[in-house]
Amino acid sequence: MEYNPIKHHRRSIRLRDYDYSSAGAYFVTICAYKKECVFGDIIDGQMMLNSAGKSVYNSWQWLEEQYDHVELDQFIVMPNHLHGIICINDVCGRGGSRTAPTMKQKPLGRLIGAFKTVSTKQTNIICHASGNQLWQRNYYENIIRNEESLNRIRDYIQNNPIKWELDEYNPSKFL
């Protein structure tokens, strides 16, 4: 393979050697393509979802319905991003004493990929678009390591609409 100095090389923001399919809670932030406000508006401190936002909301809930090892905690769809706590449980992939393992759990990255695919397809159908990119590449995640951190993140998510004017993802903050 020939070296191409123009090609952008992305550095992974994931923890090296960490098993993201292992049981645990993860705080994720997924940004809309170009951080455009396409999911609705904040009105009087409340997030008001439009049809695209409702599609994203339903697609996020789909993860829990689709995968036995996924449990969703607090989440919110904001005008141009989603914050959510996703828990991966150790419920599948192990056989009993006389049975073989039936399926390997999807790691966090594959779950987020499935969410992005489903939400993009559903949103494009609802918005009568075809092939529109909905999400930025990649996502941000933090491993939640204790109850104190979990509660702090829950509060952050719950209060996110109230603090939208100060939010780093709010494009009007810089006008």
Inside any domain, residue 17:
no
Inside any domain, residue 16:
no
Out of 24-28, 105-109, 150-154, 171-175, least confident range: 171-175
Inside any domain, residue 63:
yes
Q: Are strands 40-43 and 46-49 parallel, antiparallel or unpaired?
A: antiparallel
Structural domain span for residue 114:
24-91+101-162
Inside any domain, residue 61:
yes
Inside any domain, residue 158:
yes
pTM: 0.83
Inside any domain, residue 171:
no
Radius of gyration of the chain (CA): 18
Inside any domain, residue 175:
no
CA 147 centroid distance within chain: 21
Inside any domain, residue 15:
no
- In this prediction, residue 22 has a pLDDT band, given cuts at 50, 70 and 90, of confident
| Tens of pLDDT, residues 24-79 | 999 999 999 999 999 999 999 999 999 999 999 999 999 999 999 999 999 999 99
Residue with tokens 């993009």: 120
Mutual orientation of helices 51-66 and 108-126 as an angle, nearest 10°? 140
Out of 17-21, 31-35, 68-72, 152-156, least confident range: 17-21
Is the distance from CB of 29 to CB of 82 less than 8 angstroms?
Answer: yes
- Which CATH number characterizes residue 107's domain? 3.30.70.1290
How many structural domains does the chain have?
1
